[in-house]
Amino acid sequence: MYVIAGLGNPGQKYAETRHNAGFWFIDCLASQAAVSLRLQSRLHSETAKCDLSGHDCLLVKPDTFVNRSGLAVRRILDYYKLPPDNLLVAYDELDLPAGTVRLKQGGGHGGHNGLRDIFAHLGTPDFLRLRIGIGHPGQKHLVTRYVLSRPDSADARAIDGGIERARDVLPRVLDGNPEAAMTALHRADQSPADNPAPAKD
């Protein structure tokens, strides 16, 4: 079984804020699979089992706040006796423009406190991440207010588009070919200027 965990803050107050982009990805997958997540208190998460492209998956939205995401992720993996190799974590990424989406295997936490906490609880950074670009406010002291606020309409459309592209390449990840998914996302994010049409005779 593959665990797909989205990071975010619980509660209606935070539902539409940028920091909940990981939750939005899980909601997108749940809609596709026609399932509803239910609270599992012992797992500190809302979860739903589903079939995605012929693979058994567990969709997870921790009911802890982002900064304590590791508690829920560790509890899930322990309960189902799964290694970090079976984990994909989706989260908001300040260092990518709104709507740009990238897959990454391992590496640092980039200052994201949710990832930092997952590292601490799992004892390893070696799992797959889906980085959902939300843009950056430009100055470090503005970051907290920025991630806890709603994106404007243009950024919201861009982020939704990025999430849909990530959903579309997910089957390649589940098939064991994340490199192909990474390549597809990179190509999808190229602008027409980067890929000019061939000149006509």
C-alpha span between 138 and 125 (Å, rounded): 27
Query: ∠145-186-90 over CA atoms, to 5°?
Result: 45
Return the domain boundaries, the chain: 2-188
C-alpha span between 147 and 106 (Å, rounded): 23
Q: Where are the beta strands (DSSP E) in the chain?
A: 2-6, 38-40, 45-52, 55-62, 87-93, 101-105, 128-133
pLDDT at 188: 80
User: Looking at the annotation, which residues are catalytic?
Assistant: 19
CATH class of domain segment(s) 2-188: alpha beta
Q: For every one of its 201 residues, what pLDDT tens digit does the chain have, with 9 covering 90 and above?
A: 999 999 999 999 999 999 999 999 999 999 999 999 999 999 999 999 999 999 999 999 999 999 999 999 999 999 999 999 999 999 999 999 999 999 999 998 888 999 999 999 999 999 999 999 999 999 999 999 999 999 999 999 999 999 999 999 999 999 999 999 999 998 887 644 344 333 333
pLDDT at 190: 66
Query: ∠52-80-110 over CA atoms, to 5°?
Result: 75
pTM for the predicted model, two decimal places: 0.92
Question: What count of residues does the chain have?
Answer: 201
